[in-house]
Amino acid sequence: MISSIGKTTNAIKKVLITGANGQLGFELQRTVPVGYTCVATDRNDLDITDASAIKSFIEKIKPDVIINSAAYTAVDKAEEEPALAKAINTTGAANLAQACKDASSQGQHIQFMQISTDFVFDGKGYTPYPVDALAEPEGMYGITKHKGDLLVQQILGEEAFIIRTSWLYSSHGNNFVKTMLRFMAEREELGIIADQIGTPTWANSLANAVWQGVEKNITGIHHWSDAGVASWYDFAYAIMEEGVTLGLLDNTIRIKPITTTDYPTPASRPCYSVMDKTSTWQALDFKSEHWRVALRQMLIELKENEENA
């Protein structure tokens, strides 16, 4: 369902958010700055794979900003459904960018924000990837997202704003944190991959970074995740510790570190996908919190939601 929200009745900018039911879409709607009103859509409201539908929708609502948080994010399933992943991640992004360019030719300027992923990297590096690092995705998810990013740049040139993120979670939707809490409440032992390194990111943190980018009219490619690094094993252990401290879990369980080869999946994951955020922090004029601090904040929110349910 289309939702329209804002923090002021005298909004100066209208923002179209795609992927409204996703984790980032949810957080974007909760963090709308004063001076903006949002039209938040899911795939039932706006099919981004349909260029004519996008054109009609944009002509109707006349947005000043488009934030594309819609994506096909089922990493393993993308190997089975490459055409669908391409339609959403590649064609959909290009359709939105082209609609912005077409609107510009009619005298309407639209800021465009494309949300991308650490999966554009092959994960074979050992130091944080700068924004200009070579993108060499290996799985269909990363490939289709990267191709979408390239088309956005090709269509909009220097006006495009692309922000890559990683290991996203939120109190909304399905994600690693909520899955771990459920498993930890049900089982006595878990085996968690310890040789894939990245950075967990609270979707609320990313949403605030995106809004800051909108406010500052940032362009180019940027990286945003919370600060610090972790393996999935480290992340899971922190979830357990924080969960017990907050009363979301009754007790600790055994967590065993395993390797990627111990847990084969249809799609390969980057072994190392830590991103260098220095240039983004400078451009936005603020830094990420450490992922452990952000995790605690999200879990406090999750506990409050359970208590108020």
**Domains plus CATH for the chain?**
3-308 (3.40.50.720)
Tokens of 202: 């609270």
What pLDDT is recorded for position 5? 55
C-alpha span between 119 and 269 (Å, rounded)? 8
Q: What is the mean pLDDT of the chain?
A: 94
């490939």: which residue's tokens? 143
2: Cβ contacts below 8 Å, ≥ 6 apart: 39, 40, 41, 45
| Nearest CA among 281, 277, 181, 272 for reference residue 223 | 277
In the predicted structure, residue 3 carries a pLDDT above the cut 70:
no
What pLDDT is recorded for position 204? 98
Q: Based on the residue annotation, tell me whether 237 is a catalytic residue of this protein.
A: no
Model pLDDT for residues 276-301, shown as the tens digit of each residue? 999 999 999 989 999 999 999 999 99
Give CA angle at 16 (206, 99), nearest 5°: 115
Cα atoms in the 13 Å half-sphere on the side-chain side of 247: 6
What average pLDDT score do residues 109-127 get?
96
Q: Residue count of the chain, please give it.
A: 309
Contact 189, 250 (CB under 8 A): no
What pLDDT is recorded for position 110? 95
| Nearest CA among 269, 253, 233, 234 for reference residue 182 | 253
Q: Are strands 230-231 and 197-198 parallel, antiparallel or unpaired?
A: antiparallel
What pLDDT is recorded for position 308? 86
Contact 156, 101 (CB under 8 A): yes
Catalytic residue among 72, 141, 169, 233: 141
Confidence tier at 9 by pLDDT (50, 70, 90): very low
Q: E strands, the chain, where?
A: 3-6, 13-18, 36-41, 65-68, 111-117, 161-165, 168-169, 189-193, 197-198, 201-202, 220-223, 230-231, 254-258
